């Protein structure tokens, strides 16, 4: 039976998720809270850490602790400077930064990844999930590399090859959806619905995919006009807008691949994230000819375990996940 060997924290801007990980690299227990780095309790980082992990450490005081995400940013508990892409897990381990908690436990903070260029790109936390996916899914090691998508507020698409993150792109799809829904005229005619309208969602995807439409700024107003003309109900409009934005994201990604004489269709694809959101992305990917984009299970825990093992904090996994 798996025993606790590691405490891991995925610590972002608005939320904190802590895992008690066993010898097989899978969480035995988990805690979630809204104590992100910008929403800390009165006692600050130490109090948030204690609230999430105190009971585990009372029961298992010698467990090593590892963390990733915005906790290692300039606004975090301690800054863990970025590792530059291309980057593998060894590079992350070499740049781990420690911070001592009030309890006296050393927290090992994993750095993020920076890609330099005309339009620089950064990630914090996603790198750990990506390396968890690579160790979990042998098909991602095939020659030619793979593409890993992480849907969310700031969706990431990472090209991986030879167990390294080669380059990646960020699409502010989720945040843009929230801003348009809550702070523009588009939201005035929207009504939330407890059910997902697949037809409205796919209509939005297809609108974005159509090469005859010039771009996101020229199409988002259709969310309102299709409502005004009676072609979309108030309940359908949020799903249409979601499909429109995700469709533009995938169209942009497809154009990036086209410059490399490749395409989304036929690429080895994997998704990491909330299953309901990943299911939306799978439906949208299907409109671009991609019918195989499974979600990698336990990528976060596996990534933490892999990095901790390379850092000598835990033994190698007892079995492949």
Same domain, 9 and 120: yes
Same domain, 32 and 117: yes
pLDDT at 299 over 90: yes
User: Which DSSP helix (H) or strand (E) runs through 130?
Assistant: helix 126-136
Whole-number Å distance between alpha carbons of 1 and 3? 6
Q: Looking at residue 119, which CATH number applies to its domain? A: 3.30.420.300
Encode pLDDT of 142-164 as tens digits.
767 899 999 999 999 999 999 99
Q: Is residue 318 part of a domain?
A: no
Q: Is residue 166 part of a domain?
A: no
Same domain, 190 and 104: no
Q: Looking at residue 228, which CATH number applies to its domain? A: 3.30.420.310
Same domain, 106 and 178: no
Q: Is residue 163 part of a domain?
A: no
Please state which of the ranges 23-27, 137-141, 173-177 shows the lowest mean pLDDT: 137-141
Residue numbers of the domain that contains 280: 171-286
The model's confidence at residue 321, banded by pLDDT at 50, 70 and 90, is very low
In sequence order, the 6+-apart residues with CB closer than 8 A to the CB of 85 are: 113, 114, 115, 165, 166, 167, 168
In sequence order, the 6+-apart residues with CB closer than 8 A to the CB of 56 are: 4, 7, 20, 29, 63
Encode pLDDT of 32-78 as tens digits.
999 999 999 999 999 999 999 999 999 999 999 999 999 999 999 99
Q: Is residue 164 part of a domain?
A: no
Encode pLDDT of 105-125 as tens digits.
999 999 999 999 999 999 999
Count of domains for the chain: 2
pLDDT at 223 over 80: yes
Q: What is the pTM of this model?
A: 0.93
Other CB atoms within 10 A of residue 191 CB: 11
């Amino acid at each position: 039976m798996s025993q606790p060997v590691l405490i891991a924290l995925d610590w972002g801007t608005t939320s904190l998720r802590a895992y008690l990980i066993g010898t097989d690299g899978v969480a035995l227990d988990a805690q979630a809270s809204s104590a992100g780095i910008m929403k800390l309790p009165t006692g600050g980082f130490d109090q948030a850490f204690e609230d999430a992990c105190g009971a585990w450490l009372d029961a298992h005081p010698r467990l090593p602790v590892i963390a990733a995400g915005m906790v290692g940013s300039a606004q975090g508990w301690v800054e863990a400077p970025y590792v530059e892409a291309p980057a593998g897990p060894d590079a992350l381990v070499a740049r781990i930064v420690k911070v001592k908690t009030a309890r006296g436990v050393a927290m090992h903070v994993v750095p993020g990844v920076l890609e330099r260029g005309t339009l620089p790109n950064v990630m914090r936390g996603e790198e750990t999930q990506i390396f968890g996916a690579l160790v979990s899914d042998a098909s991602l090691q095939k020659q030619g590399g793979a593409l890993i998508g992480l849907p969310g507020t700031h969706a990431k698409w990472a090209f991986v090859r030879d167990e390294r993150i080669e380059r990646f792109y960020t699409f502010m799809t989720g945040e843009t959806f929230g801003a348009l829904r809550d702070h523009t005229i588009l939201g005035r005619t929207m009504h939330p619905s407890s059910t997902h309208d697949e037809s409205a969602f796919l209509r939005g995807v297809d609108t974005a995919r159509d090469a005859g439409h010039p771009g996101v700024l020229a199409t988002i107003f259709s969310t309102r006009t299709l409502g005004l003309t009676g072609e979309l109900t108030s309940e359908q409009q949020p799903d249409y807008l979601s499909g429109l934005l995700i469709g533009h994201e995938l169209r942009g990604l497809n154009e990036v691949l086209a410059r490399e004489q490749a395409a989304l269709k036929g690429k080895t694809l994997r998704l990491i994230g909330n299953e309901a959101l990943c299911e939306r992305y799978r439906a949208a990917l299907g409109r671009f000819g991609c019918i195989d984009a499974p979600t990698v299970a336990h990528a976060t825990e596996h990534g933490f375990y892999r990095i901790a093992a390379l850092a000598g904090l835990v033994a190698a996994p007892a079995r492949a996940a």
